[in-house]
Chains A and B, each alone.
Chain A
Amino acid sequence: MIQLALVIDLNVCVGCHACVTSCKEWNTSGEAGYMSDDRPYGEDPTGNFFNRVQTFEVGEFPNTETVHFPKSCLHCEDPPCVPVCPTGASYKRPEDGIVLVDYDKCIGCKYCAWACPYGVREIDEHQKVMKKCTLCVDRIYDKSLPQAERKPACVMACPTNARLFGDVHDPDSEVSVAISENGGYALMPEWGTKPANHYLPRRKTRIKIHDDELMRADNPLKKEGVRPKPDVHEPSLDDVTSW
C-alpha cells in the first residue's frame, strides 16, 4: 500500500514562507475552486490556507534556538477526521493514503475540524465547505508535467529543500531513508493518529578531535611536536623509515 507524505526537515527550514505562498497560489488557481480571502488588504484580513509556517523559540536567552515549523495536513494513517464525517465527504484514498474532502458532499458541519487535533482543516467561509491540504493531488499525477515537477507545490517552492515528498511505506524511498536515518518523528503521537507526514529534528554536527590527530606522534616527516624515538631495529610506521 502506498502512503504519500511529506517529510519536513526542521534542521533546514529557514521560515521563508515560500511553501505557504506557493501552496496558496497553486490551490487557489486549481480546478477545485478558489480559496477565499476576506479583506486581504484591509485592517482585519482573513483567508483560507492549507499550510502555515510557525515560529517557536526553544530555550532561554542566550541559549535559544529558533525553530520554524511548517504545518499542514499530516495525512494520518488513522485519521480521526474521517470516521466522524456524517456524509462520507471526508475520506482517505486507499490507493495513495491522501486524506481528501469531497467538496460536493460536504455539508459544512465542521465536525471533522473538531476531530482533528492538529487544526489543519479550515472552513471556506464563502463556499461553506471544509478544505485542507490535498498533497496537490491535482499536480502529482499530472502527466503533462515533467516527472521532476510532479510534486506538491510547497515541495517545489522550498529553496532549502527542507520538504521531501514520497511514499513513506516504501522502505527504500527518499522519505523513508530520511526518516530512519535522521530520527524522523510524528506530531502528537499520544493520540494514535499515526501521521504520515514526519518531521526531522534539529541536528548538531559535531566533530571530536583527539590530541594525536593534531600532534601526530608518529609523523614521518618529523616536522612537529615530540619526535618518537623508536629503536633502530623496531618497525616504524611505514616499515621503511627509522632513525
Chain B
Amino acid sequence: MSISSRSSSISHSQFSNYPYQQDAVRVIAQHCAGGQEQHRRFSVDPQLTSFDILKNLIGRAFDMKGDFAINYRAVDDYGGEAYLPMVSDWDLSAAFLSASDPDLQLVVEGKNIPLDVEDGSGDYEEEQWDMIKSDEMISSASPLTDSQDAKSQYSQKTDGNTSGFSSQSSLSMISRVSSAVSNNPQYPISFNAKLNTAGLFNAMEKLVQKAKNLYDDLSVVTSRPPLSDVEFRNYLDTGGTLCKPRELRFACYHGGIEPSLRKVVWKHLLNVYPDGLTGNQRMDYIRNKSKDYFDLRDVWKSAFQNGQINEEVLYVSNMVRKDVLRTDRHLKFFAGQDDNLNIASLFNILTTYALNHPTTGYCQGMSDLASPLLFIMGDEAQAYICFCSLMDRIKPNFSTDGLAMSLKFAHLAEGLAYYDQQFWLYLKSMGADDLLFCYRWLLLELKREFAFEDALKMMEVMWASLPYKPQDVPLYEVKFTHLNAHAMPIPIPSLTSSYSKVCAIRRSSTALNALDIRKRRYSHKKIKGNSTNLSLDENSLSSLSTSSAASVRSHRKPFYSLDESTELISSSEFLSTSPFEILSPEMSQDMPKPKMIKNLKEFWMIGRPKSFSSAADISPTTSFPTSTASSTYESIKNAYDTDLNGQVFLDDSGGSRSDEGTTPTEQCSLADSTKTYQDSSSISNIQSETTEKNLIPSEIPISNRDSELSTSTESASKISGDRMTATSLNPASSSSSSAIDNSRETSELNYSYRNNVNRCDVEGVSQGGESEHDSGHCLSESFENSVEPEFQTGATRQPAKMPNPETLGGGNPFLMFLCLTLLLQHRDHIMKNRMDYNETAMYFDKMIRKHNVSKVLAHARQMYSNYLKQNVSHA
C-alpha cells in the first residue's frame, strides 16, 4: 500500500505555561507520500480538540485512506529529542503541554496494517503485561502512585521491562520509597512510624533495600529534573483539582520547578488555595482575592491623596519606600529609575500589608521576601496573596519578642553541635557559638545567600518541604480604614529591638561565652586596681559594657548584613580600621558627644544618645578602633541597653515600655539620671518577682530561689536606692567578684557565672556575693528554660538526639539543614584560617549571593533525609 511510507510531523507554536490557556495552537503537519512532501497548516483549539478530531483532521487534510499513526517530537530534559507516538487524548494533551519549547515536532511512523493479516501488528507486539503486585495491593492505602510523567511511561515501553517497578528510573524509585514511607499528613517529607502495618513495612523494606545504594549516590547528584508541566498535570485530576498535594511537594522538593511553571505551582506550595478547588474555581478565587486586595490598597491610597494620614502611616510608608528602593535592584525587573512600576508594586504590597496587619507592621527584610514573589507572579495582587500566606508562617521571625528567632538559633546551634562537634567547639573557642552571624539566614530564610535565580529554586524546594496546608488566605488582620488609622498604632520597624533581643537571649544561653568574658573582666578589674571613686554610672557601665562584648560584636552585623546597600561601607570601615585600644574612663569622658553615628542612630533608632554622657570605662576586652571610638562607644551602650531589655523586657514591657513609647531600648538606660535608673530597676525587680512565679518551671534546679526571692529583690531595690552614693557599691562588687572567684572551683561553675553575668546585665551592679539567686538571674534562667529546654545541656555536650521535625526550626526543619549545610561547607576554610568571630561573620557576608545552590540543596537534602530516618528509628 502506498500509505506505508507516509509520515507526518506536527509542530505548533509555543504556548503559555498554564494548561490550555491559549485559544489556538498552530499545527503544521508534514506528510510524505511517495517521496513527495506535503505540508498542511491549520490551527486547533486545544480545549476542544480531541485526539480523534485531530486524527480526522489530518486524515482529511492529506486525504488518507487507511490507518495511519501520528508521532510528535518531544525534547526530553537532557536535550535529546524523540518522536513519541500519539495514540490517545492523553498523548495529545501531553503534546500540547510539552510543546512549550519553541517547537514540538512529533514523528509518527505511518503504519499499514491490513486488518486481515494474522501475524501481529507491529506496534502492539511490544505491548507489555502490567503486573498487579501484592505490594500495590497492600499499600493501596498509601500513595504508592504512578506519579510518573508521560516520558517514563514511554521508557517503560521501550526498555521492555515487564515489571512496573523495575522499569522505573532509579531516582523515581527513591521518590517512591520516600513517598511510601512519608505518609505523615503534616510533613510531606517525613517518615511516619505509625504506618508500619506489617505488609507495608515489608514492602517498604524491600524498596528501601533497592534504593539503599542509590541513597549513597545522592550526595552529589541533583536528584531529579525540575517539575515539568506534564508532570504537574499528573497531580491534578481531570477537573484541575490538585488531588496529590504531597506528591507535588515531593517532586518539587527533589527537583525544583521549571521556571515557566513557577507562577502556577508556587501558589500551591505557598498554601494559597483552599482545599479541593478545580482549575476554574482557583481562577475565581484569585480573581476575588485580587479584588479584595485592590480594595484594601485603594483605602490607603485615597487616604494618601486626601492627605488624611497620620504620622505613623507616613512613617511606615517612608520606611517601606526606603527599603523598596534598594531591594534587588540589580534585577532587570526592578532596574532603571526609581519610578519603575515594579518597584511601585512592591511598595504597594508592603504598605498594604503593614497597614492591614497592625500587629506585624513593616519590618526591614520583608521587602526581600516579597520581591521574588512579585518577580514570579508578575502581578501585584497575586504577589500580595502569596505574601500574606508566606508571612503567615514567617511573621514570628519579625516579632519584637525575638522568641521565634531565638528558638531557631538554639536549634541551629544544637544541630551544629550534633553534626559537627569539632567545628562547634572551634566556634565556641572563638566566642562565635552564639551564631549571630546567621541572623539574616534565618530571618529571610536564606533568600539573600544565593543569587536571585538560585534563591528562587532554594525557596521552592524549602517550601515544598513544608506541610500542605490548604487555607483561605486572609488578606488582612485588621482592615485599615480612616477611622482606625489613628486608633491603631502601627508598629514601627522592629528589627532593631527584635534583633537585640535575640542577641541577648543568644548570649545568655551561651554560658561559656559569658564565662570567658567574665574572666577577662576580672583581669581587667585587677588592672584597674579597684579605684574607689567610680561613679555609679561608670561602675555599672563598666561591668556591663565588658560583659556585653559579644553583643558589641554581634550588634555591628546588622549594619552590613541587613542593610547592605548603605551601611556596608561604614561597617566594614568600622571593622577594618585601626588597632584596639583601652579607653580609660577619663578619655571617654573627655570624648566629645558622638557625632559620627548617623548610621547607627538611624539603624537603632536611638532617640537620645546624650543620655550616656557620663558613662565611662570601656574595658580592654571590648575591642574597637579608636578612630571611631565614640560611635563604637555608642554602639556598646546601645548593645548594653538592648541587652538589658532582652533580660528585663519580658516582664516589664507593660509598664515601663509604655512611657518610652517606641524606643524601648532606652527604657533601661543606665546613664539616665540615677533616679530614673533606680525607678526602672526597682520596677523591673518587682515585676520580675511577680512574673517569675509564672515563668519558672517547677523543675528548675534551684530550690532555694523562691525562698530567697523576696529578700533578694528587696535588697536589690534597696541597693538600687543606695546606689545614689557610688562608693557604697565598690565593696559590694569586689566582694561579689571574689565570691565568684571562689565559686569557680565549685561544680556550679557555669551556672554561677551565668548567674553573675545575668545579674550584672540586669542590675548593672553586683549586689554582693551572698545573693546568688537574684531576680535578674531567675528571670533569664527561666526564660531560657522556656525557650530551649534541651539546649541547656546540649550546649556543652553532644546532644543525643535532634528535636523532632515538628519543633525543629520552629516548623521549618529543612531550613535548619540548609543553614547547617552552609556552615559545614565552609567549616574547613574557616578552621584552616583560624578565623575569629568577626572574620567568620565577614566571610559569610562576603558569600552573599554566592553559595552554590545545587550543592547546598543536595547536601541539605541528604542530611535531612538522614535526620528523618534517624528520627523514625528513635521514635
- A and B from one assembly? no
